Homo-oligomer: A and B are copies of this chain.
Amino acid sequence: MSVPHAIFVSGVAGFVGSKLARLFVDRGYPVFGFDDLSRGSRENLSGLLTHERFIFEKVDLSDAGAVRSRFMNCHSRIPISEVWHMAANSDIASGIADPSVDLRDTFLSTFNVLDAMKEAGIPFLAFASSSAVYGDLGEAPIREDVGPLLPISNYGAMKLASEALISAAVEDWLDRALIFRFPNVIGVPATHGVILDFVRKLRGTPNKLNVLGSGRQRKAYLHVDDLIDAIVYLRANASERLGYYNIGPEDKGVTVSFIAETTVEAVAPGAGIEIEYGVEDRGWTGDVPRFSYDIAKIRALGWRPQLGSADAVRKAVVEIVRQEANL
């Protein structure tokens, strides 16, 4: 039996990257993982760090020279056949205050990973893109081929920039790429996002929950277990040279007020905690107020999520309340 080639995962200490690495290791692949540990953490890699098939390196992915030399070093130890580029700034608001955050962590990380792949001749890239590439297209469910693409956050802009570079690479030297346009993904380990914000606010002021915006914003949410299932499914079943897929639930999503009420009930059942709303429909600059996906493309390949937005929120709220209670 031949030894399998290795899989490379960037952002390996993050929310999605850590779960992917675990899955690939469990399936018998050697896995190289890079992360700068700025948002991801070693805790997310518990059990993996000591695994014989897992090799972690702390690398700043915006440093072109470091990425190239350390990637080539891994590749010379065990040939890498796939790159899963999951690293990015995950805090959209921070990238609006300072555009250099998304330039560096969401875009230059992609540029540098592609550069290293080209140097090493790696044939396959899987990329975590985002619904944020679509900007604010209003109420109608979004198909993958829609235009125009006018992102309203630097995060969305730098995800679109990354997609564009990958597209040009497929035209030139890259054999195959899969682009996943992630929706709002929830679950644990949670490091950011609306549910975690609410749970933490309720630790600070236990009898009141202050919500940014009117609470009427409606978005689709996918549980991370469904997300991982989808991207592994696409790896096995999508066959285009450049595949790009919305991944999300099929519903129109849930409102922020639903999330607030679900969180309040999970934290203190029956306590009647007061929820205070703002007046703006948009919570903060760069936040898309309404949002739902058309997922006909991935459905046509035979995949659908286990949980809709409401059940995903219910499950994630329970998980995140438990996570925070254990701190």
Interface residues of chain A, those whose CB is within 8 Å of chain B, are: 96, 99, 103, 107, 111, 114-115, 133, 135, 144-154, 156-158, 160-161, 163-165, 167-168, 171-172, 242, 244, 285-286
Given A150-B167, A164-B161, is A111 in contact with B103 using a C-beta cutoff of 8 Å?
Answer: yes
Measured between beta carbons, the chain B residues less than 8 angstroms from A147 are: 145-149
When chains A and B are docked, how far (Å) is the Cα of A158 from the Cα of B115?
15
When chains A and B are docked, how far (Å) is the Cα of A148 from the Cα of B164?
10
When chains A and B are docked, how far (Å) is the Cα of A153 from the Cα of B107?
17
Instruction: Report the minimal beta-carbon distance from A129 to chain B, rounded to whole angstroms.
Output: 12
Instruction: Report the minimal beta-carbon distance from A244 to chain B, rounded to whole angstroms.
Output: 7
When chains A and B are docked, how far (Å) is the Cα of A88 from the Cα of B153?
23
User: What would 17 more interface pairs be, CB under 8 Å, given A148-B149, A156-B168?
Assistant: A99-B165, A99-B168, A133-B164, A145-B148, A147-B148, A149-B149, A149-B160, A149-B164, A150-B164, A150-B167, A151-B167, A153-B171, A156-B164, A157-B161, A158-B161, A158-B164, A160-B160
Measured between beta carbons, the chain B residues less than 8 angstroms from A111 are: 99, 103
15 contacts between A and B (CB under 8 A): A96-B172, A99-B114, A99-B115, A99-B168, A147-B148, A147-B149, A148-B244, A149-B164, A150-B163, A151-B167, A157-B161, A158-B165, A160-B164, A161-B161, A172-B286
Contact between A168 and B144, CB atoms less than 8 A apart: no
Contact between A151 and B172, CB atoms less than 8 A apart: no
Measured between beta carbons, the chain B residues less than 8 angstroms from A99 are: 111, 114-115, 165, 168
Of B149, B158, B171, B286, which contacts A285 at CB under 8 A? B171
Measured between beta carbons, the chain B residues less than 8 angstroms from A158 are: 161, 164-165
Measured between beta carbons, the chain B residues less than 8 angstroms from A160 are: 149, 160-161, 164
Contact between A168 and B157, CB atoms less than 8 A apart: yes
Contact between B135 and A153, CB atoms less than 8 A apart: no
Residue among A161, A164, A244 with most chain B CB within 10 A = A164
Complex: chain B residue closest to A150, CB-CB: B167
Measured between beta carbons, the chain B residues less than 8 angstroms from A242 are: 150
Measured between beta carbons, the chain B residues less than 8 angstroms from A151 are: 164, 167-168
When chains A and B are docked, how far (Å) is the Cα of A118 from the Cα of B152?
16
Measured between beta carbons, the chain B residues less than 8 angstroms from A145 are: 147-148
When chains A and B are docked, how far (Å) is the Cα of A156 from the Cα of B170?
13
When chains A and B are docked, how far (Å) is the Cα of A164 from the Cα of B135?
9
When chains A and B are docked, how far (Å) is the Cα of A244 from the Cα of B150?
10
When chains A and B are docked, how far (Å) is the Cα of A115 from the Cα of B102?
13
Contact between B135 and A152, CB atoms less than 8 A apart: no
Measured between beta carbons, the chain B residues less than 8 angstroms from A152 are: 167-168, 171
Instruction: Report the minimal beta-carbon distance from A155 to chain B, rounded to whole angstroms.
Output: 8
Instruction: Report the minimal beta-carbon distance from A109 to chain B, rounded to whole angstroms.
Output: 13
When chains A and B are docked, how far (Å) is the Cα of A144 from the Cα of B148?
7
